[in-house]
Amino acid sequence: MSFFAFFVGLSLANAQTNSSATQEAVPGEYIVKLKDMAAPSGVLNKMQGKLNLKGSFQRINMYHVSLKGGAQDVQSLEDLAADPDVEYIEPNYIFKKSVDDQEGLGAPAQVYEMGEVQAMEQYSAAAASYSQSGAQTKVAEAWAIQTSNSSIRPIVAIIDTGLDKTHPVFVNSNAVWVNSREIANNGVDDDYNGYIDDVNGWNFINNTPNFADDDGHGTHVAGIVVGTSLNILANPITETAKMQVMPLKFLDANGSGTTSNAIRAIYYAVNNGARVINNSWGGGTYSRSLHEAMTFAYSNRIFIASAAGNNGKSNDTTPMYPSSYDVPSNLSVAATTDYDYMASFSNFGSRSVHLASPGVLILSTLPNNRTGTMSGTSMATPFVAGLAALAMREAPFLTGYQIRDIMIAKATSISNLLGKVSSSARVDALRLINEAQVQSAVQASQPSYSPSYAGEARSLASAEVSPKTGCGLVSTALLKGPGSSSGGFNGGGVMAGLFLLPVIVWAVLRQRALEKAKPASDPRRKYERFKMDSDIRVMVGDRELAGSLKTISLGGASFCADEALEKGGIITMKISSPDGKDLVEVQGQVVWSEANQAYGVQFAGAEQSTLSMIQKWTAGLTKA
Provide the annotated active-site residues.
160, 217, 378
Could you tell me if 353 and 324 are in contact, meaning their C-beta atoms sit under 8 angstroms apart? no
Neighbours of 514 (CB within 10 A): 16
Strands (E), 488-579: 530-540, 543-553, 556-560, 570-576
| Strands laid side by side in the 51-57 sheet | 51-57, 62-67, 25-34, 86-95, 257-258
Query: Judging by DSSP bridges, how do beta strands 25-34 and 62-67 pair with one another?
Result: antiparallel
Question: How many other C-beta atoms can be found within 10 angstroms of the C-beta atom of residue 607?
Answer: 12
Query: Is the preceding peptide bond at 322 cis, omega within 30 degrees of 0?
Result: yes
CA nearest neighbour of 237 among 429, 133, 369: 369
E strands, 161-273, in order: 202-203, 244-249, 257-258
Q: Which of 506, 513, 619 is nearest to 555 (CA)?
A: 506
The count of C-alpha atoms lying within 13 angstroms of the C-alpha of 144, restricted to the half-sphere facing its C-beta, is: 9
CA distance 326 to 324: 6
Nearest to 556 by CA among 582, 597, 591: 591
Please state the length of the chain: 624
Nearest to 377 by CA among 425, 334, 323: 334
For the stretch 265-299, what's the b/e string if a residue is b when 16 or more beta carbons lie within 10 angstroms of its beta carbon?
Answer: bbbbbbbbebbbbbbbbbbbbbbbbbbbbbbbbbb
- Cα 364 from Cα 371, distance rounded (Å): 5
What is the Cα–Cα distance from 479 to 188, expressed in whole angstroms?
Answer: 41
Task: Give, for 403, the enclosing helix (H) or strand (E).
Answer: helix 400-409
| Helix and strand numbers, DSSP H then E, in the chain | 13, 25
Question: Is residue 66 within a helix (H) or strand (E), and if so which, with residue range?
Answer: strand 62-67
Nearest by Cα to 126 from 242, 231, 239, 240: 231
Rounded to 10 degrees, what is the CA torsion of 185, 553, 504, 543? -160
Q: How many CB atoms lie within 10 A of CB 530?
A: 20
